[in-house]
Structure 1
Amino acid sequence: MEFSHDRSDETLVINASGRVDGSNASDFLDTLQGLFEPGDQQIILDLGGLEYISSAGLRVLLMAAQNLDKDNKSFSICSLTDSVSDVFRISGFDQIIKVFPTVDAAKQG
């Protein structure tokens, strides 16, 4: 799992690539939470480089979304690959977390 991020104004865009499963889900959560800053009002997770996500990874996304929602911050996901998009659709996560086709679309939200 690899990360990069870009922050401009009150928007944080996190790019994640690789795989998220039970072996690294805890590190995934720690990394995400470590990137959040108080001034961030919109957090966008770009999963275009994500090859695989397990139920443990979905749980991390749900926890992050719930924590950010408590702080009145916007959280969305974008650029899903076909296989990850299928996981989101089948699990119903596309109904729980806002999903957009691109970073720009997510910024317009």
Structure 2
Amino acid sequence: MTVTVENADGIQVVALEGRLDSMNASSVEGQLNGLVTADLNRIVVDMAKLDYISSAGLRLILVMAKQVKQVGGKLVLCGMQSHIREVFEISGFLSILTVVETRADALTAVA
């Protein structure tokens, strides 16, 4: 699992690559811990290279969304492959999270 974080004009872009599962979710959570602050509260999670997500990965996304909401920010997910999108749909997360197709759409949505 590779996690890349970059700042794009005050927006934190988190790119996930590989498998997000119970084996690495706590490690990823540790990497992202402290990412959300009152000043840095606009987050894009780019999932274009995410191959697999388990319930532990879904929990991590939900925790991040709650942190962002608590500081009055916005979280947008983008670039989901069809099988990842299906997991989010089955879990009901598509109805509670903002999901767009591309990184450019996500950056516009949080701006």
One fold, TM greater than 0.5? Answer: yes
Paired amino acid for 1:7 = N
Q: TM-score, normalised by structure 1?
A: 0.92
Aligned twin of 2:9:
9
Could you tell me which residue of structure 1 aligns to residue 30 of structure 2? 30
**Structure 1 CA distance for aligned equivalents of residues 25 and 37 of structure 2:** 21
> Which residue is 2:89 aligned to?
89
Report the number of matched residues: 109
Residues 69 and 37 of structure 1: CA distance in aligned 2, closer, same or farther (over 3 Å):
closer
Output the aligned Cα RMSD: 1.3
Could you tell me which residue of structure 1 aligns to residue 54 of structure 2? 54
C-alpha displacement of 1:34: 4.3
Amino acid at match of 2:62: L
Match of 1:75 in 2: 75
Query: Structure 1 vs Structure 2: percent identity of aligned residues?
Result: 33
Deviating beyond 4 angstroms after TM superposition, the runs of 4 or more aligned structure 1 residues are none
TM-score, with structure 2 as normaliser? 0.90
Distance in structure 2 (CA, Å) of the matches to 1:75 and 1:97: 8
Q: Could you list the runs of 5+ residues in structure 1 that have no partner in the other structure?
A: none
Distance in 1 (alpha carbons) for counterparts of 2:99 and 2:40: 19
